[in-house]
Structure 1
Amino acid sequence: MNPTIKDVAQKANVSIATVSRVLHNLGGYSDKTKQKVDRTIKELKYQPNAIARGLINKRTQTIGVLFPDVSSAFSSELLHGIDEFVHNHNYSVVVCNTDQDGKRTLKYLQLLREKQVDGILFSSEVLKKEYYDLLEDMRVPVVLISSQTDFPNMPYVKIDDFQAAYDAVDYMVTKGHRRIAMISGTKGDPIAGTPRIEGYRKALEAHGIAFNSRYLFYGDFMYESGGRAMKSILQKAPEVTAVFAASDEMAIGALSTATQHGLNVPEDISIMGYDDLRLARMVNPPLTTVRQPLHDIGMIASGKLIDMIESGEIAQSQICAHSIVERQTVRNIT
C-alpha cells in the first residue's frame, strides 16, 4: 500500500499541514523541520497524489498561460521564467497559443475552464470585454503579462513601453542621429504599439526634431515584417541614418534586409531593437536594444498569481525596470 501524507506526518512527528507546506514551499517552518520532512518523504518513498490533493483543497495545482504566438522568441523567454517559478512551487502549466489576432482566445479560455485551472497568466494581448466577462465567470485569479487593462482586479507585470521607446530614441539622438525611422508593431495596438510610437515622437520632440510621418512604418513584431518594413524605408526614405524597431525580431529582419541591399550596419545605417532576446546577442553584428527582463517578468507574474491563488487577495501591479543594452548596431555620428 502506498504511503500517505498522514504516514509522513506521523513518522516525522509533525502535522499534516506542515508536510503540505513543505511540499508546496510555502514556508512557516524551520530548516530543521524541512530537512526532517524531506528525509521522511525519501525514506517512505512518498509520492503526492495530485487527484487526492485536489479533492482536499479544491485545486488542480495547474495554471493556464495564454500567448498570441507560442513559437516566438519573446514568448519562449517569458515561458522559461514562468515554468521555472511554477515548477519550483509544485504547479504545472497548460500553454495555449491564441494566435496573433486572438482568434482562439475564447476557445482556450473555455478549455482552461473545463480543466479547472487555478489561475491564468494572460500575455501580450488586449483584454477584451468578452474575455474579461468569461474570466469573471470562471472566478479564478488572473495576472496580465506585458499588457494592462482598466478592468478591476486584473494586476499586470510589464515595463513602461512609452518610457522605454523614449529612452531608445533619445539614445540614438545622443549618438548624432536626427533622421530616425521607426518600425512599429501592429497599427492601433494599444498595448505595445501606440505607447512605443508616442515614446518615439516625444523623444524627437524633446530634441527639437519634427516628427515625420514618412519615417513611421508598421510591422507585426515578427522577423518577416521587419524585413518588409526595411525594404520600404530604403525605397521611400533612403536618407534616414537610423532605424528603431519595436521588437528585436523586426530589428533583425531589418538588419538582414539592409545587408541584402549591400548596406553595412552600423557604418551605412544604424538599427536598434526592443526586448533583448537571446537572438540579439547571436546576430552579426550583435544588436543594440532595449532590454525587457522577460525571464524575471515571467517569474514575478507567476509569483503574484500563485500568491493570489493561495491567499485569495488581489496582487499589486508592477512596472519592471528596462535598460539600454549597447552592442554594435548603432554608430556614433557626432
Structure 2
Amino acid sequence: MRPTIYDVAKEAGVSIATVSKIINHKGGISERTKNNVLRVMKELNYHPNIMATALTGKNTNSIGLVLPDLANPFFSELARKIEDRGHELGYSIMICSTDYKKEKELKYIQLLKSKSVDAIILASGFEDEEVISRLLKEKLPVSIVAKNFPSISINTVAIDDFQGGYIATTHLLELGHTKIAIIARDVYSNRERMRGYYQALMDYGVDYKFEFRFATESNVETGTRMAREILDSETGATAFVACNDLLAIGAIQAGREKGFNIPNDLSVVGFDNTIIAEVYDPPLTTVSQPIGDMGKEIMDLTVAEIAGEKGKRKVILVPDLIVRRSTRIRVDEMIDE
C-alpha cells in the first residue's frame, strides 16, 4: 500500500500541518524537524513525484469553500473551523455563500476556478452530482463536508444524519410523546434525518401522520410558519423535531404564540448544537454535530489530496444528543380522584 501523508506525520512524530508546511515550502519549521520529515519521506518512499502539484510552485495556497447559507450559525461556525485549520496548514480560505440557489453555486464555482484555487470544499445543501462529477473529471480536488454523496467517490466528512434523526425522535418518544411532528428541508441531510424520524416511530409502534410539507428556507421565520400551520391543524402535536436549530427556534416561537409553555405543553428538539442552542431561552435540546472535528478532518483530507494523495476517504462521524430545557416528560391532564 502506498504511504500517505498521515503515515509520514505519524512516523516523524509531527502533525499533518507540519508535513504540509514542509511540502509547500512554508516557513516556521526548524531545520531539524524539516530534515527529520524529509528523511521519513525517503524511508517510506513517499517520493516527491507523488507531491508533484505541491512542488511545482504553481499552487496558490488557497481553497474555495462553497456554503449554502452563511447566516445559519452552523455554517458560519463550520466556516470558522475550516478557516482556522486552513491557517494552520498554510492555506487561505475563500468563502462563498449561495443561498441554496443553483445559479449562485455555478457562478461561484466558476469564480473559484478562475482564481486558480488549489481545491474546492462543498458544504451541505449542494445537490448537483453532475457538477461534482464534472469537477472531478477536471482533476480539481473537490471535497464534501456535512453531506454524503454515497454514489460518488469523493473525500467526505459528514455525520450519520439518519442516526441523528433517530436519536432526536427516540428522545421524545421516551419522554412519552407520540404526536411528534417534523420540520425539514428537501436536501439530502434532512431527508436522511427524516428517515431516522420515521424509523424511530416505527420501532416504537407509533402511527402518527400529518400533512407534511418541506420547509422552503432554513430560518426562524420559516420554522415559525410551518409549526404554526401544524399546531393550527388537527394533528394534536405535542412535540417537534426540527432539522436545524433555527427551525427549532421557530417552532418554539409558534408554540408561544398559541399560549403554550415550553416545554410543559410543547417539547422541541433541534439539530446542529450551534451557539444559539445554548443562549436561547429555554436552552435547546439538540442533536450535536462535532463542528470542530468536521472542519479539521475535511481540511486535512483536502490538503492531503492537493499534496498528491491517491484514493478517497469517507469519514462519517457519530452525532450526539445534548439534552437541555426545551424538552420534558409528557404529562397528560390529571384526573380528579
TM-score by length of 1: 0.81
| Structure 2 stretches lacking a partner, 5+ long | 1-18, 37-52, 332-337
Aligned pairs for 1:224-243 (under 5 A) are 224-237=221-234, 239-243=236-240
1:217–1:332: structure 2 CA closer, same or farther, 3 Å change rule? farther
Residue 20 of structure 1: how far off its partner (Å): 4.2
Q: Which position in structure 2 is the counterpart of 1:141? A: 141
- Greater CA drift, 113-122 or 216-225: 216-225
Percent sequence identity over matched residues?
A: 30
Pair 237,300 (structure 1): closer, same or farther in 2 beyond 3 Å: farther
Moved more, 316-325 or 24-33: 24-33
Structure 2 residue corresponding to 1:221, chosen from 204, 209, 218: 218
Q: Which shows bigger deviation, 167-176 or 153-162?
A: 153-162
1:121 is paired with a residue whose SS is: strand
Listed as ranges, the gaps of 5+ residues in structure 1 are: 1-16, 35-52
Instruction: Give how far 1:33 is off.
Output: 7.1
CA distance in 2, matches of 1:57, 1:314: 23
Q: Which of structures 1 and 2 has the larger relative contact order (alpha carbons within 8 angstroms, sep 6+)?
A: 2
**1:303 alignment partner in structure 2:** 300
Is the alpha carbon distance of 1:139 and 1:28 closer, same or farther for their aligned partners in structure 2, counting shifts above 3 Å?
Answer: farther
Distance 2:54 2:237 in 1: 60
- The aligned counterpart of 1:185 is 185
* Code of the aligned partner of 1:302: M
Query: Is 2:180–2:208's contact at 8 Å kept on the other side of the alignment?
Result: no
- Closer, same or farther: CA 281–225 of 1 in aligned 2, 3 Å: same
Aligned to 1:8: none
8 Å Cα contact 2:23-2:307 kept in structure 1: no
Deviations 1:97-130 (A, max 9, x none): 2221322111111111111111110001344244
Equivalent runs, 1:166-185 vs 2, <5 Å: 166-185=166-185
Superposition deviation, residue 92 in structure 1: 0.3
Q: Size of the alignment, in residue pairs?
A: 296
Q: Could you tell me whether the CA contact under 8 Å between 1:21 and 1:27 is conserved in 2? A: no
User: SS at 2:113's partner residue?
Assistant: helix
The verdict on how the C-alpha distance between 1:237 and 1:292 changes in structure 2, with shifts beyond 3 A counting, is farther
8 A Cα contact 1:179 1:239, kept in partner: yes
Structure 1 residue 179, shift from structure 2 partner: 1.0
- Secondary structure of 2:176's counterpart equals coil
Following the alignment from structure 2 to structure 1, what is the Cα–Cα distance between the partners of residues 153 and 197?
31
Change (3 A) 1:18 1:204: closer
* Superimposed CA distance per residue, residues 17-67 of structure 1 (whole angstroms, 9 cap, x where no aligned partner): 999459548989745979xxxxxxxxxxxxxxxxxx999422110000001
Alignment partner, residue 191 of structure 2: 194
The alignment's C-alpha RMSD in Å is 2.7
Relative to 1, partners in 2 of residues 1:55 and 1:325: Cα closer, same or farther, differing over 3 Å? closer
TM-score (norm 2): 0.80
**Alignment check: 8 A CA contact 1:79 1:295 kept:** no
